[in-house]
Structure 1
Amino acid sequence: MNETTKALPKSIKEKEQWLKDRYWKFGEEENLDDHLHDIFEVDNNGQRTAEPRFDPLNRETKGLMVLGASGNGKTALLMRALRMDPVLTEFKLPQGGNTLFITVPPDATIKKLAEIILAETGYTKINAKLRATDAWELARHRFGLVGIKTLVIDECHHILRPGAGRDIPAAIQALKHIMQSEHRVALIIAGVPELKDAILAEASGETMRRFDEFSPSRIRPKSKGAVLFARNFAKSAGILGLHVAEEDVIPERILFAQNGQIGKSVKLAKEILRAAVVRGRDVITLNHAERVYRKSNSGLDMTPFDAAEWDVVKAELTAIGWGQS
Structure 2
Amino acid sequence: MKNTTTTAPITITEKLKWLENRYWKFGDEENLADNLFDLYEVDDDGRMTSQPRRDPLTGETRGLMVLGASGNGKTALLKRALRVDSVLTKFRINHDGTTLFITVPPDATIKKLAEIILAKTGYTKIDAKLRSADAWEIARHRFGLVGIKTVVIDECHHIMRPGSGRDVLGAIQSLKHIMQSDPGVALIIAGVPSLKDAILSEPSGETYRRFQELHLTRIRLGSKAAGLFGKNLMKSAKTLGVELAVEDALPERIIFAEHGQVGKSVALGKEILRDAVSRKRDTISLANADRVFKKSTPGLDMTPFHSADWDVVKAELNAIGWVQG
- What is the TM-score of this pair, normalised by structure 1? 0.97
Deviation at 1:316, TM superposition (A): 1.3
Letter in 2 for 1:84: V
**Residues 7-156 of structure 1 correspond to what in structure 2 (within 5 A)?**
7-156=7-156
1:163 and 1:67 map into 2 onto residues whose CA distance is 23
User: Hey, what's the Cα distance between the residues in 1 that align with 2:282 and 2:28?
Assistant: 32
Q: How do 1:1-325 and structure 2 match up within 5 A?
A: 4-323=4-323
1:323 & 1:50 partners in 2: Cα distance? Answer: 45
- Asked if the contact 1:220–1:226 (Cα under 8 Å) also holds between the matched residues in 2, the reply is yes
Residues in 2 aligned to 1:63 and 1:129: alpha-carbon distance in whole angstroms: 31
Task: Name the Cα RMSD after superposition.
Answer: 1.3
**Which digits, 9 at most, give the CA deviation of each residue in 1:33-68, with x for residues without a partner?**
010111111222221111111111222111000001
2-side partners of 1:323 and 1:43: how far apart?
51
1:319 is displaced (CA, Å) by 2.0
- The CA distance in 2 between the partners of 1:8 and 1:44, in whole Å, is 39
Q: Partner of 1:295: helix, strand, or coil?
A: helix
- The answer (yes or no) to whether the contact 1:96–1:146 under 8 Å persists in 2 is no
Measure the CA separation in 1 of the matches of 2:211 and 2:116.
23
Determine the C-alpha separation between the residues in 2 that align with 1:91 and 1:7: 27
Deviation at 1:5?
A: 4.4
Unpaired segments of 5 or more residues in structure 2? none
Runs ≥4 in structure 1, deviation > 3 angstroms? none
Structure 1 residue runs without a partner (length 5+)? none
CA distance in 1, matches of 2:36, 2:264: 25
Write the distance in 1 (CA, Å) between the matches of 2:94 and 2:320: 56
Distance in 2, Cα, partners of 1:128 & 1:202: 29
For normalisation by structure 2, the TM-score amounts to: 0.97
Distance 1:54 1:324 in 2: 46
Q: Give the paired residue count.
A: 323
Between the aligned residues of both structures, percent identity stands at: 69
Please give the alpha-carbon distance, in whole angstroms, between the structure 1 residues aligned to 2:63 and 2:120.
21
User: Deviation per CA, 1:77-120, whole angstroms, max 9, x where unpaired?
Assistant: 00001110021210011113111000001111111111110110
Partner-residue secondary structure (3-state), 2:296: coil
Shift of 1:324: 8.9
Rounded Cα–Cα distance in structure 2 between residues aligned with 1:164 and 1:83: 38
